[in-house]
Amino acid sequence: MIELVGFDGDDTLWRSQDFYDAAQAQFERIVGGYVDLADVRVHERLLAIESSNIHVFGYGAKGMTLSMIEAAFDITGGLISSEDLHRLVGIGKEVLAHPVELLPGIREAVEAVAADYRIVLITKGDLIHQQAKVERSSLGKLFQRIEIVSEKNPPAYARVLGEFGMPAESFVMVGNSLVSDISPVLELGGRGVYMPYHSTWSLEVDSGFALDASRVVEVGAASQIPAAIARLAAD
């Protein structure tokens, strides 16, 4: 029996990765004024620095901005100007200030699920930025609880479920990331509704994941989420 449904925030309820993709494109244009982008593998080097910095800065726009500054200095051999470093800070501020744009049909989907189940929002990233997005989304009042975590892994989900007094078998997580939203929940014994977004951060991609049709339903639009949960409940 399903008793609790969790929703991811970024790229499940509202647009997010598009703004980070645009920030990276701006980063590459700036760094491209100093080096040959193809020869120095700018994308790969920025991703490697972001990955190594997660345990220090966490996820989100602030960590991305600090990683861009570090990567720009490293890639250009310290030649990048103070003016261009300041431009990178401005790019990070733009990401933090972007409007919250709900995905098509998601409000109706969340409301429909909330009519039948207890629901919780479980999202990761910078606390202040995520709180602001929840507030601007006007969806917060629909959730019984809002959890902003530093990492979405089995211990984090187990803690939330424990505080609800809920076995994993009674939990379904809805999200766009196999790495953060689906795999950890399946590992605990729960189920998932996977709604891929058109753009996914490289560190959230799991090319080796095999969907288990009995425990995961993939949907192509928010309007399909309630039926997907009903299908999982019936199995």
Do residues 121 and 159 both lie within one domain? Answer: yes
**6: DSSP letter:** E
Could you report the average pLDDT of every consecutive run of 10 residues in the chain (235 residues)?
96 96 95 88 92 92 96 96 98 95 98 97 94 95 95 96 95 96 95 94 75 86 98 91
Paired tokens of 53: 């910095």
Do 141 and 62 lie in one domain? The reply is no
Show which of 38, 73, 96 is a domain's final residue: 96
In a shared domain, residues 79 and 29 = yes
**Among 96, 129, 153, where does a domain finish?**
96
Tell me how far apart the alpha carbons of residues 203 and 200 are, in angstroms, rounded to a whole number: 8
The residue type found at 47 is L
Residue 10 maps to which CATH number? 3.40.50.1000
Q: Based on the domain organization, do 63 and 89 belong to the same domain? A: yes
On whether both 158 and 77 belong to a single domain, the answer is no
- Measured in Å, how far apart are the chain's first and last C-alpha atoms? 9
Among 96, 126, 160, the domain-final residue is 96
Q: Where are the alpha helices (DSSP H) in the chain?
A: 17-31, 37-40, 42-57, 61-75, 82-96, 106-114, 127-137, 154-164, 183-188, 225-234
Amino acid letter, 113 = V
- In terms of domains, do 82 and 106 share one? no
Look up the pTM and report it. 0.92
87 with 159, same domain? Answer: no
Q: Domain range for residue 168?
A: 4-14+101-234
Q: Mark whether 198 and 157 lie in a shared domain.
A: yes
Q: Tokens standing for 25?
A: 């494109």
Do 138 and 225 lie in one domain? The reply is yes
pLDDT at 207: 62
Q: What three-state secondary structure class fits 126?
A: coil
Same domain, 82 and 111: no
Q: What CATH number did the domain enclosing 58 receive?
A: 1.10.150.240
Provide the domain count of the chain: 2
Same domain, 128 and 70: no
Residues 114 and 212 in one domain: yes
Secondary structure class of 102 (helix, strand, coil): strand
Backbone angles phi, psi at 153, to 5 degrees: -135, 175
